[in-house]
Amino acid sequence: MSELIPAQQLRYSAQLLLPEMDERQQQRLFASKVLIIGLGGLGSVVASYLAGAGVGQLLLADDDRVSLSNLPRQLLYSSAEVGLHKVDCAKARLTAQNPEIAISTLPKRLTLAELQVLLPEVDLVLDCTDNASSRLAINQACYTQQVPLISGAATGWQGQLLALKPWLGQGCYQCLYPDWQDSPSCLQSGILGPLVGMVACQQALLALQYLLNIGVIPFGHLRYFDGLQGTSGQLQLQQDPDCPVCALNE
């Protein structure tokens, strides 16, 4: 394993000072590949933190274009980029932030079949989408391909975070929302940028902990909080014995 060059030692100096970190751990990040699905308020923040930390390969998937209403909470984009594909804008900004990492883009909404092909190539999936069909497809693909999933959601004043290894009998998103329908979009229910950022920062932190194999990752537990009331909590996900995705008696 090669040593970090002086410029890398300087770039990553703050995180290398942590007792859990060293050059070997930094090399571990360089060797990691993460799929980020959705580059809105969650994904744009998550991608920036993972790129900054030196995650070596980021695969970015989103079929959307930048709109003016995105800009208060989607921090990768500028007014000049309205109308452009988010993945292209994100790649340009992240490459400028850290030219050492490799970034691939998929300007499309991934189907279950496409996810099944992609997932064996990655170490971790971050679900930053905003619709039920995508979340359920991601959940099913991660289960069948046995790739860990960290999913975030934010709408109104509510935020949720869920880390999953459902093949270990912890349950999955299908168990949590067996009859899930799309919730109102941010433009319908309202949202403040910092609330989305809070969820995204937790997603990024859990992702780095997982890739580095440090700390406690609450797999199978749903974290939730209310940004208006300042309350938060956690509950353990229960596996639905009739779940069509992860039930033990399938």
Q: Residue 186 catalytic?
A: yes
Answer for the pair 29, 212: CB distance below 8 angstroms, yes or no: yes
In one letter, which amino acid is 225?
Answer: F
Q: Which two tokens stand for residue 178?
A: 């067996």
Which long-range contacts link 204-210 to residues 24+ away (Cβ below 8 Å)? 204/45, 204/46, 204/49, 204/50, 206/150, 206/161, 206/163, 207/34, 207/46, 207/50, 207/55, 207/124, 207/126, 207/150, 208/29, 208/49, 208/50, 208/53, 208/55, 210/124, 210/148, 210/150, 210/163
Q: Which two tokens stand for residue 55?
A: 């995650």
In angstroms, the Cα distances linking 52 to 29, 93, 184, 195 are 11, 11, 32, 21
Question: How many degrees, rounded to 5, is the angle at CA 146 between CA 210 and CA 208?
Answer: 15
b/e map 201-222, b = 16+ CB within 10 Å: bbbbbbbbbbbbeeeebebbeb
Of residues 128, 142, 172, 186, which has the active-site annotation? 186
In one letter, which amino acid is 47?
Answer: A
| Residue (of 173, 171, 179) closest to 153 by Cα position | 173
**Active-site residue set:** 186
